[in-house]
Amino acid sequence: MNNYTFINGGVTSPMGFTANGVCAGVKAATSAAITKAIAANDSPVIPNGKRDLALIACDRVCNAAAIFTKNLVKSDTIFVTQKHLQNGRAQAVIVNSGNANACNPDGYEKAEAMGRLAADALGIDENDMIVASTGVIGQPLPLAPIESGVAALKDILSKEGGSNAAEAIMTTDTVKKEWAVQTVIGGKTVTIGGIAKGSGMIHINMGTTLSFVTTDAAISSEMLKAALIEAADVSYNMVSVDGDTSTNDTLAILASGYAGNTEITEKNEDYYIFLEALTAAFKAVAKKLAADGEGATKLLICKVSGAKDEQAAKIIAKSVICSSLVKAAMFGADANCGRVLCAIGYSGAQVDDVKKIDVSYSSAAGEILVCQNGCGLAFDEDKAEKILLENEITIIITLADGNGEAEAYGCDLTYDYVKINGDYRT
Amino acid sequence: MNNYTFINGGVTSPMGFTANGVCAGVKAATSAAITKAIAANDSPVIPNGKRDLALIACDRVCNAAAIFTKNLVKSDTIFVTQKHLQNGRAQAVIVNSGNANACNPDGYEKAEAMGRLAADALGIDENDMIVASTGVIGQPLPLAPIESGVAALKDILSKEGGSNAAEAIMTTDTVKKEWAVQTVIGGKTVTIGGIAKGSGMIHINMGTTLSFVTTDAAISSEMLKAALIEAADVSYNMVSVDGDTSTNDTLAILASGYAGNTEITEKNEDYYIFLEALTAAFKAVAKKLAADGEGATKLLICKVSGAKDEQAAKIIAKSVICSSLVKAAMFGADANCGRVLCAIGYSGAQVDDVKKIDVSYSSAAGEILVCQNGCGLAFDEDKAEKILLENEITIIITLADGNGEAEAYGCDLTYDYVKINGDYRT
């Protein structure tokens, strides 16, 4: 039985948090026009404009932690956020889409300025700001729209605004990702909520570009960091859309403590209850990110069991989910087991006996064994096609090497992935 | 000045070798009908049929060597060929397309039988056969078409048949790949020729599925193996189409010795002349394989210099050439430098200072600097587009870490790649 329940909600569900998102015109070079439009319409949202600036704030300083991309080329927002989180505290998040503020000569100064603008508007310490950006790399970040956007945002922060914040961090995402989950810790109801964005440049090791999580649990920043790492390891770190790791990946969490539970400061029972809820939520987000991968028509889940150990199982699951050939075959509903076996073989994981690998495909339409003992089977092609025409496919790999298990998440490779990325900047 | 000259020719250019290729009907389940058609037409080629069986033979036993896929899941043909090459000798190559004979319960027996059929037809020792297959994985190899095909082939082996052999090993290749190069060793003209096939499931570490090389040089099998490894390291091992390493990759070489040079048995001056010609040929093939990558419209070359060392340069060049986002941007002629920087950053190579990376794009239409000192530049988009609309693009990356240089070969990611692989088996 699970100790948690998913509820409708998002980043503002936990006590103490408000948020909103507006169209500030970061991407458009038309920030002045947009500012005027905002004034004229008495609305922070440009008619038909895409929201591109989000502010999430707590009414008090929170314990906080974050983990970041492993890419050596990092957006300067990451260095600013790392500096601000050195004391394990934060109170608000300012984040834009449309421009990654990466590979710019003045990126650091602008990321600091962005944080300062938000902090000043909120009347809080600029060192308590988490700053993030996502979008095109290598183009100067325009500060004017961020300034006018922040001015608009500070007056409309609300519980209801959480969804707008989720929308404002979307880039090529087709659906916004927000979630909330509740659990009980020491007799107190604890809520965790979050928003996330995909959907390209997504790979193992922080398989997201941005995700912001809030909670009203009382928990130390050290334990927040530990829980983030453990939960991300089996969720965000097991998602791949295209094998490209972004320069901006940031997964941050803020804990207001309003739930009133005894503060979690060590890996006790309360920590594991919190971790269980956080992990379940992250796994659900990982699936959403994969399903909304650029151009994707199908969520692919690769379940590996019987591997030598968990590490081998993870390597195999990731290799299969990352294979362009597997991904293209799934797009075409082609039950080609050769591509799966091939991806297992070049994964780099130790496999004691490739002649003991079984492979099945499973979906809402049924399950079919296509490979037994390392050999392709003659199977019912019609049944296989029916299974693979569903929009959520599980590739089940069973080895006979040990007890290692793992699950990875990906999507099919489609014409639209090529289309989206053939001309991303325009 | 180069010590070698490319000439028109192929696998039969070196003295002693003949070859041919026919449509044996390996892929079609219609082998009996095809055998009949062959008899009826008095022709080994089915009208409109795709050639799918090649035989290459020497009139004497050769010194020989081969290197193979690193995939743990291997076609049984590889184990048979490895066994036959234990003595460093071979006389002929039998190879089919349309079926990989991989992941089959009876694959080993069938690979042996395939070699025996060819050896019997040629009247040579079956242990002197190199056996190879390429095509769909996990489907039983039909021996009947191979038997009738071999019977047809043995009577039509010729110098002119080399091109048919090149054609017969093609799968999704759109052009056949054959080449010949001449050099002078110890006053004697030495010829090296070869055929190769791509064009999907191609990745670093034997970036080909099959390649067969012949030479009339006198060279020991040990030195052949050493030269194969050295030449492949900067050519086949630097090609990627889709990041998938095949189960069947085989690069084999046979040396007849007819050129009459003093046999090369150590890494002397003669060895390095031979290696220079072999390497030049392999690099040319690597580019052909990349340019004919599945669905490709453009050859991409990534040239890295100034890396910490050669190893770092190789890792960076490969990472960029493998990036789905870089590949899709090149398809769309989008001069996005962010994707290149991003791929450098996650390559895993040590980069001392990411703020000292320069990136340019170059083609027949000119050259343009898009990133300087790790930062995106404002550049002439029209000029950039003109450069990227060419069908051979070089991505030039300059670091300031050391003297490491490398070159990798790839292609763009296109709608057609997805189309070809969405339904490969039908």
- Domain residue limits at A278: 4-291
Among residues B263, B291, B319, the one where a domain terminates is B291
Residues 6+ apart with CB under 8 A from B302: B316, B317, B318, B320, B321, B394, B395, B397, B407, B408, B409, B410
- Closest residue in B to A138 (Cα) is B376
Residues B248, B134: contact at Cβ < 8 Å? yes
Both A199 and A344 in one domain: the answer is no
CB contact under 8 A, B138 and A415: no
CB contact under 8 A, A424 and B341: no
Put simply, the chain A residues between 93 and 112 with a CB less than 8 A from any chain B CB are 100, 102-105
- Closest residue in B to A329 (Cα) is B422
Per the annotation, the verdict on B208 as an active-site residue is yes
Both A165 and A314 in one domain: the answer is no
The CA distance from A104 to the nearest CA of chain B, in Å, is: 5
Both B279 and B379 in one domain: the answer is no
Opening angle at CA B418, ends B416 and B424, nearest 5: 100
Q: Which of B145, B166, B67 shows the shortest CA–CA distance to B101?
A: B145
The angle, 0 to 180 degrees and rounded to 10, between the axes of the packed helices A31-41 and A143-153 is 20
Both A55 and A184 in one domain: the answer is yes
Both B364 and B225 in one domain: the answer is no
Can you read off the two tokens belonging to residue B206? 């034997």
Distance (Å, whole) CA A5 – CA A180: 9
Q: Taking the CA atoms of chain B, what radius of gyration do you get in angstroms? A: 22
A201 vs B102, B325, B375: nearest CB: B325
Residues 6+ apart with CB under 8 A from B205: B69, B70, B237, B245
| Banded model confidence at residue A53, pLDDT cuts 50, 70, 90 | very high
Put simply, the chain A residues between 300 and 319 with a CB less than 8 A from any chain B CB are none
pLDDT at A43: 41
Count the alpha carbons within 13 Å of B74 in the hemisphere toward its beta carbon.
20
What's B192's domain CATH number?
3.60.70.12
pLDDT at A137: 87
Among residues B236, B259, B291, the one where a domain terminates is B291
CB contact under 8 A, B103 and A371: yes
Both A312 and A388 in one domain: the answer is yes
Global ipTM: 0.78
Distance (Å, whole) CA A119 – CA A111: 12
CB contact under 8 A, A373 and B105: yes
Give the model confidence (pLDDT) of A220-254 as tens digits: 999 999 999 999 999 988 888 766 778 899 999 99
Say how many domains are in chain A.
2
SS (H, E, C) chain B: CCCEEEECCCCCCCCCEEEEEECCCCCCCCHHHHHHHHHHHCCCCCCCCCCCEEEEEEEEEEEEEEEECCCCCCCHHHHHHHHHCCCCEEEEEEEEEEECCCCCCCHHHHHHHHHHHHHHHHCCCHHHEEEEEEEECCCCCCHHHHHHHHHHHCCCCECCCHHHHHHHCCCCCCCCEEEEEEEEECCEEEEEEEEEECCCCCCCCCCCCEEEEEECCCECHHHHHHHHHHHHHCCHHHECCCCCCCCCCEEEEEECCCCCCCCECCCCHHHHHHHHHHHHHHHHHHHHHHHCCCCCCCEEEEEEEEECCHHHHHHHHHHHHHCHHHHHHHHCCCCCHHHHHHHHHCCCCCCCCHHHCEEEEEECCEEEEEEECCEECCCCHHHHHHHHCCCEEEEEEECCCCCEEEEEEEECCCHHHHHHHHCCCC
Both A228 and A348 in one domain: the answer is no
Among residues B291, B324, B356, the one where a domain terminates is B291
Distance (Å, whole) CA A218 – CA B180: 73
pLDDT at A122: 98
Both B222 and B238 in one domain: the answer is yes
Both A197 and A143 in one domain: the answer is yes
pLDDT at B354: 92
**Residue-level pLDDT, tens digit, chain B, 426 residues:** 789 999 999 999 999 999 999 999 887 643 444 445 545 544 444 545 789 999 999 999 999 999 998 888 899 999 999 999 999 999 999 999 989 999 999 999 999 999 999 999 999 999 999 999 998 888 899 999 999 999 999 999 999 999 999 999 998 888 999 999 999 999 999 999 999 998 666 665 545 579 999 999 999 999 999 999 999 999 988 888 766 778 899 999 999 999 999 999 999 999 999 999 999 999 999 999 888 888 889 999 999 999 999 999 999 999 999 888 899 889 988 888 888 998 999 888 999 999 999 999 999 999 999 999 999 998 999 999 999 999 999 999 999 999 999 999 999 988 887 787 776 554
pLDDT at A130: 98
Distance (Å, whole) CA A134 – CA A208: 11
pLDDT at B293: 82
pLDDT over threshold 60, residue A30: no
Both B310 and B286 in one domain: the answer is no
A201 vs B71, B242, B342: nearest CB: B342
Distance (Å, whole) CA B222 – CA B237: 20
Both A275 and A397 in one domain: the answer is no
Both A282 and A394 in one domain: the answer is no
Amino acid identity at B80? V
- Closest residue in A to B106 (Cα) is A375
Give the model confidence (pLDDT) of A362-411 as tens digits: 999 999 999 999 999 989 999 999 999 999 999 999 999 999 999 999 99
Can you read off the two tokens belonging to residue A138? 């290598």
A332 vs B136, B137, B423: nearest CB: B423
What's B325's domain CATH number?
3.10.20.340
- Terminal Cα-to-Cα distance of chain A (whole angstroms): 49
